[in-house]
């Protein structure tokens, strides 16, 4: 199914394909990336990971270091980024990265907008270098009304809503960490300010 089918009121019964046996590459193997990996395995997907170290992680068939970015991208049908905004992630996905991807690949960015060279992404989609992108985060937010992402074919824009925090979830994490602190146990979800995440 394609957005243009709906906008033109066409009932076209094309087979959409399936996730089974597709390869999903997750940029960022932290808690969010691990959760996505675990979920993808339920769909019988092959799961690859990308991190600074490339260290093996549960639920990932193979993990690559950032220095192996293009090798990582080459195998992926879907690339999902959960990466933080750091100096080393800025512009990581650029024209050369899009060339390294499959022409049928989709990029999904739920991490931070600094990751993507937006001009290069528009060109990659316009020239069919990659199939499309689902973008939830942007360099400038809110996304300006004149931004070409709004009208570009095969780009789906969502307004930074992919991971809302609900009070009951945050409260439970706080209670758990408070109990850990009182018992002098290691805390969960600590930020390393030197790394930026």
Convert the pLDDT of each residue in 140-187 to its tens digit: 999 999 999 999 999 999 999 998 889 998 999 999 999 999 999 999
Mean per-residue pLDDT, 47-70? 97
List CB contacts of 144: < 8 A, sequence separation 6 or more.
Answer: none
Mean per-residue pLDDT, 83-111? 97
Question: Is 112 part of the annotated catalytic residue set?
Answer: yes
pLDDT at 1 over 60: no
For position 143, what pLDDT does the model report?
98
Question: Is 160 part of the annotated catalytic residue set?
Answer: yes
CB 157 within 8 A of CB 130: no
pLDDT at 120 over 90: yes
Mean per-residue pLDDT, 120-126? 98
Q: Cα separation of 164 and 110, whole Å?
A: 11
pLDDT at 86 over 80: yes
For position 2, what pLDDT does the model report?
63
Mean per-residue pLDDT, 69-76? 98
Phi-psi region for residue 17, left (φ > 0), alpha (ψ -120 to 50) or beta? left
Q: Cα separation of 93 and 73, whole Å?
A: 10
The dihedral of CA 17, 19, 21, 23: what is its sign? positive
- Which residue among 112, 126, 147, 180 is the active-site one? 112
Mean per-residue pLDDT, 105-133? 98
- Which residue among 2, 71, 147, 160 is the active-site one? 160
For position 13, what pLDDT does the model report?
78
- Provide the 8-state DSSP code for 116: B
Convert the pLDDT of each residue in 36-53 to its tens digit: 999 999 999 999 999 999
């Amino acid at each position: 199914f394609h957005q243009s089918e709906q906008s033109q009121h066409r009932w076209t019964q094309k087979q959409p394909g399936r996730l089974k046996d597709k390869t999903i590459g997750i940029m960022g193997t932290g808690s969010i990336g691990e959760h996505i990996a675990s979920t993808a395995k339920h769909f019988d997907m092959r799961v690859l990971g990308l991190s600074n170290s490339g260290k093996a992680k549960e639920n990932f068939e193979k993990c690559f270091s950032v220095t192996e970015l293009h090798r990582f991208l080459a195998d992926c049908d879907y690339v999902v980024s959960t990466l933080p905004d750091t100096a080393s992630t800025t512009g990581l996905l650029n024209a050369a990265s899009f060339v390294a991807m499959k022409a049928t690949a989709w990029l999904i960015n739920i991490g931070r907008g600094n990751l993507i060279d937006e001009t290069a992404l528009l060109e990659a989609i316009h020239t069919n270098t990659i199939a499309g992108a689902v973008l939830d985060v942007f360099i400038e937010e809110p996304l300006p009304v004149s931004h070409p992402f709004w009208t570009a074919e095969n780009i789906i824009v969502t307004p930074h809503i992919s991971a809302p925090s609900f009070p009951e979830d945050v409260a439970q994490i706080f209670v758990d960490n408070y109990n850990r602190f009182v018992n002098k146990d290691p805390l969960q979800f600590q930020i390393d300010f030197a790394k930026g995440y």
